[in-house]
Structures are given as structure tokens and as C-alpha cells.
Amino acid sequence: MLSPGAPLPPDIKLAGSVVLIIATVGTVMITCDAWVIDEMRQLPRGFVEMFDILIDLGKSGWILFPIVGLLMLSCYARSYAPKRYAKLVIATLEVRLSFLFLAIGVPGLVSSFATELIGRARPYVADGDPFIFHPLAFHAQYASLPSGHSTTAFAAAVAIGAVWPHLRPSVWSYALLVAASRVIVIAHFPSDVLASAIVGVLGALLVRNYFASRRLVFSIRSDGSVYALPGPSWKRLRAVTSSINDGA
């Protein structure tokens, strides 16, 4: 037995967190989903179409493909960098890009797997009924829980905000906008985007902690908090670019 005041073991904390998350999502599913979707149907068509334009902002390709492109470009630049200092700056940038790719991509993969496994009907298919499920349906109409767009958006908000804290207001506004758009266009229930936010945030934080444990991009203070290590400034990156151009 645990003595009074003793900290809970990690496995008990994890189990408690999972139960709390499931209970929260379930409560929203029962109390809010049908009512919110019914309210969304009353919105003016022009207002909904405006949010429909924003849907692509949550596609992972809009974020991951540019990161891959930058990684390829940085590898090419590092091979032509004339000085060891320049190679080190580029390598530091590559580690940050790798973190962003994994912190956004891994939660996205988990979300995609869970979506197919759960097989929840989208609101427009279920006529607003939040309790229609066809597990392993492997069809877009039964890919409501969780929302892939929202997972990507929240994972990106955490990952980008972790590396560049001054961008947090902007990236969190982006994530909330993407999540709201998925409900407004009746592509997802509120509980879908809530579950997606949890998957995106926790997934990105786990990747961050993995990097921090190896003192890559982040480090861990004595009190257990994680902070971003200083990265290459724009001034240094411009200097590296100039050195490569001069050596070409």
C-alpha cells in the first residue's frame, strides 16, 4: 500500500490520465455533439463556405513536405559548406527540422490509425447521430474520430511553439481555427476535435521529451521542466549561406 502523501507510481498516473481523457471525450460526445452539429446546420451558407476554404490549412502535407524539402536542402548545403563552423550551424538546423517532422508526423500517424480502427461516422453521414460506429470500415465517411486535420494543427502548435516560444500565440490561434473549421463545416463532431487536440498535444510533447532526454534541441532543468536550447540565429544562417556562395 502507498503511504499517505507518497507520490503515485508512473503506471497509476498514466492509467488515471487515460481514464480521465476517455471520460472527458465521452462526456462531450454525450452532452454536446448532437446539439452543436444541429446548431452548425443553422449557420449561413456563406459563413460556412468561408471556413471551408481554411480546411487545407490542417493537412499535414502543407507542413511536412516543406520540412522535408528544407532537410534535403540543408543536407545539400552542408556537403558544400567550406568551414566546420558552417557545417555545425547547418547540422543544428537539421536537428530542429527533424524534431518538427517527428513531433507533427508521429501524432498524425497515430491519429490515422485510430481513425480507421474506431470507424466513427461523420456528422453529415450520421445525420448528427454521434453514436454510429463501423470499426475498420476504411472509408472516408467513417473517419471522424479523431480528426486528422486537428491532430496535425495542435501537434504543429506544440512543436513550433516549443522551438520558438514567441510564435505560440500565432500557432495556437491557427490550431483553434482549424479545429473550429472542422466542426463548422460538419466534417467532425466536437468530441472528435477534442480527442484530436489531446493526441496532437501529447504526441508532440512525448517527442519533445525524447529529444530533451538526449539534449537535442531541448534540455531538462533540475526541476524537471523542459526548455529549448539556443538555435542558430538568422544572422548566422545568412553568414553560412554567404560562405557557401563564396566557396561555390
Residue-range domain boundaries for the chain: 18-243
Question: What span, in angstroms and rounded, lies between the C-alpha atoms of 159 and 207?
Answer: 9
Q: What is the band of 1 on the pLDDT scale with cuts at 50, 70, 90?
A: very low
Q: Quote the pLDDT of residue 245.
A: 58
Closest CA to 136 of 122, 151, 115: 115
Q: Which residues of 209-219 are buried (b: 16+ CB within 10 A; e: fewer)?
A: eebbeeeebbe
* Model pTM above 0.85: yes
Q: What is the band of 247 on the pLDDT scale with cuts at 50, 70, 90?
A: low
103 backbone dihedrals φ, ψ, rounded to 5°: -65, -25
- Which carries the bigger pLDDT value, residue 225 or residue 237? 225
Tell me: pLDDT of 133 over 80. yes
Q: Quote the pLDDT of residue 10.
A: 61
Sequence-distant (6+) residues with CB within 8 A of 199 are 107, 110, 111, 114, 146, 151, 154, 155
Tell me: pLDDT of 2 over 50. no
- Which of these ranges, 8-17, 124-133, 183-192, has the smallest mean pLDDT? 8-17
Tell me: pLDDT of 187 over 70. yes
Q: Quote the pLDDT of residue 165.
A: 92
Mean pLDDT for the stretch of residues 184-208: 95
Tell me: pLDDT of 142 over 60. yes
Angle at 205 between CA 165 and CA 151, to 5 degrees: 95
Crossing angle of helices 45-53 and 168-184, rounded to 10°: 130
Sequence-distant (6+) residues with CB within 8 A of 41 are 128, 186
Read off the pLDDT of residues 20-72 as tens digits, 9 standing for 90 and up.
Answer: 888 999 999 999 999 999 999 999 988 888 887 777 766 778 889 999 998 98
